[in-house]
Amino acid sequence: MADEQTIRREAARQGHQHLLGGLILTLLILFLPQLLHWWKGAAGFPKEMGVWVLIAIYATVALGCNVIVGYTGLLNLGFAGFMCIGAYTAGILMRPPPFFEAHGLAFEPWSFWSALAAATLHAALWGIILGVPTLRLQGDYFAIVTFGFSEIIIQVAKNWTSMTGGVSGFRGVPAPSILWPVDPLHGDFALAPLTFNRLAPVQFWYTAGTILLLVIVFMRRVERTRLGRAWVAIREDELAAQAAGINLTWYKTQAFAISAALAGLGGGVFAALQGSFSFNDFSFFISVYLVLYVVFGGMGSITGTLVGTAVLFYLLEILRDLILEFNSRHPEHPIDANLRYLFYAAALILIMRFRPSGLLPPRARLRERLPGGPSYDSRLFHLGEERGP
């Protein structure tokens, strides 16, 4: 009885912590533009705001990476490919290329919101298509297959010139717009289209931040369901999970679909933010960086993934500015700006040496830490009673 009461108190405390974290993130989303404008001034605000929009986008994709890498323990090196699918899907639907008109398939441009939904679903579909035949693989074999898939997507984007623009990139994606009151401060609440400003992307920040917040809420809910418990069981011991009746392929496929969908979602927002992009924006290194964000923050930890993404991405921007400043002052001894990526290698070495579980690893279930708590196998058999098809 005492153990059960302790568990309930711990669960309530964690619930309060999650609520507090959500409140802090909401306030950050609301007031970050004002803080950045005060800190950087009018001249530095647009660039700084753009950096934080990218952080929100990559944090959304990193949460998808955390589903596969953190929850199920599979090394997926194909996230750049799914992000590429989402970006080109949204871009093509928002600005149809001449390919469709030439083949009698012309259609009206989609809105940003409908294109974003299509990009998410399209990436999820490819996640399922790739996942079903490959999820029986493990370790290096699975990583190689996902890497190969990503490279195929990149090559298609590079060579299907009539659809994607090829090496010239995909250009002319219109900025999103929403219906907004004309002048609510002076009582004019008539709705009119408000087009997002790419030069000072405050609207993009609110959009990307809101999407990120919704994804966090969704993932918090998934963590507490049988789906989330099954993922953790598979990560810890596939054989034991299978022996307990958990359908490995079913639960892994769901993980793959959700993670791919989040990557496509981030890719769609990225396409609208940039307006012009190419396959080079989704190189293999993007997949590596996303895995690094998850490992650095804490595999299986939502908070850790967010912190890892923000810290590593922002510090890289700081290093870039420092290198550019040094080069402007010492043009006779310039430093290659790409050397800043050595910071990622150093960060990974340090985190593996001193914090192998990451900066903010997930908390072990309290029931596992209590004396006399159920063993791992008993939890698996309880899970098996709720297994999927």
Confidence of residue 360 (pLDDT cuts 50, 70, 90): confident
SS3 at position 53: helix
Residue 349 lies in a domain: yes
Residue 389 lies in a domain: no
Confidence of residue 138 (pLDDT cuts 50, 70, 90): confident
Q: Share the mean pLDDT of the chain.
A: 85
Q: Which residue's entry shows tokens 């299907």?
A: 160
Distance CA 14, CA 363 (A): 10
pLDDT in tens, 51-63: 999 999 999 999 9
User: 356 vs 32, 43, 295, 348, 352, CA distance in Å?
Assistant: 32, 41, 8, 9, 4
In the prediction, which pLDDT does 43 show? Answer: 84
Number of domains making up the chain:
1
Confidence of residue 222 (pLDDT cuts 50, 70, 90): very high
Residue 325 lies in a domain: yes
Residue 339: DSSP 8-state: G
SS (HEC) of 193-240: EEECCCCCCHHHHHHHHHHHHHHHHHHHHHHCCHHHHHHHHHHHCHHH
CB 126 within 8 A of CB 57: no
CB 98 within 8 A of CB 166: no
> Residue 373: is its pLDDT beyond 50?
no
Closest Cα partner for 72 from 134, 135, 120? 135
- Residue type (1 letter), 350: L
> Residue 215: is its pLDDT beyond 80?
yes
Confidence of residue 243 (pLDDT cuts 50, 70, 90): confident
Q: Please give the residue range of the domain that contains residue 377.
A: 2-384
In the prediction, which pLDDT does 180 show? Answer: 67
Confidence of residue 198 (pLDDT cuts 50, 70, 90): confident
Residue 109: DSSP 8-state: P
Closest Cα partner for 258 from 384, 88, 111, 69? 69
Residue 253 lies in a domain: yes
The CATH number for 345's domain is: 1.10.3470
Distance CA 173, CA 116 (A): 13
Confidence of residue 308 (pLDDT cuts 50, 70, 90): very high
In terms of average pLDDT, the best of 89-98, 102-111, 323-332, 353-362 is: 89-98
